[in-house]
Amino acid sequence: MPAEHELLVARLKAIDAITTLVGIRITPGGRLQGNVLPAITYERVTGTEVNHSAGTTNTARVRFEVTCWADGYVDAYTLAALVRGDGAAGAETGLSGWKDANGNVWHLVLGPVDAPEQTIPGQDKNVSAVINFITKHCEDNIADYLKKGKFKVEYLKYDWSLNEQPKKKQAVSK
């Protein structure tokens, strides 16, 4: 019987739309900075044996955290939607509703990530993603203004020397 993580990886690699984007970059644990994107990482976060009055069932309820990495929010969201799927058990559409080789049905614990509702006129996709997030948490008149995109995003040059700490003098032992 394949281990749960082997089933997870095999399922993701069996979906052409996912492997077209990430190739073989489906790995356990974290992602090293500088690695090629997009990529998927996964980690087993919990596992509980399923028992009943007659004893053990030799099965477990396992939870994985699956993280989708990409160059921007929209690309990461697109990859996450492919991993999530549409819940059609028989189709190659992701993890949601999939029945694995051991007869287990995979379910998503968390709901879908918020999709970027729109591209903000005159802004790139990263600024648009931030504005879409902000507009969910501000007053309607401010949200309406931001969605028009009639503003310019500028970044201040940060003086990193502000973070420097004075060097402490070391005591010399005799």
List the pLDDT tens digit at each of the 174 positions of the chain.
458 888 889 889 988 889 999 999 999 988 877 788 999 999 888 777 777 777 777 777 778 888 888 988 888 888 888 888 865 555 556 888 788 777 777 776 554 455 546 788 888 888 888 888 788 788 889 988 998 999 888 878 888 887 787 777 766 666
CA dist 162 → 129, 154, 169 (Å): 30, 21, 20
Q: How many structural domains comprise the chain?
A: 2
Which pLDDT score, from 0 to 100, does residue 76 have? 86
> Could you tell me if 17 and 92 lie in one domain?
yes
Structural domain boundaries enclosing 145: 116-156
> Could you tell me if 23 and 105 lie in one domain?
yes
CA dist 119 → 76, 78, 129 (Å): 15, 15, 8
- Kindly report the pTM of this predicted structure: 0.57
How many of the other CB atoms lie within 10 Å of CB of 142?
12
> Could you tell me if 3 and 76 lie in one domain?
yes
Which pLDDT score, from 0 to 100, does residue 38 have? 93
Instruction: Tell me whether residue 163 is in a domain.
Output: no
Instruction: Tell me whether residue 69 is in a domain.
Output: yes
Sign of the torsion formed by the C-alpha atoms of 129, 132, 138 and 141? positive
* φ/ψ (deg, to 5) at 21: -85, -45
Which pLDDT score, from 0 to 100, does residue 20 have? 92
Which pLDDT score, from 0 to 100, does residue 111 have? 45
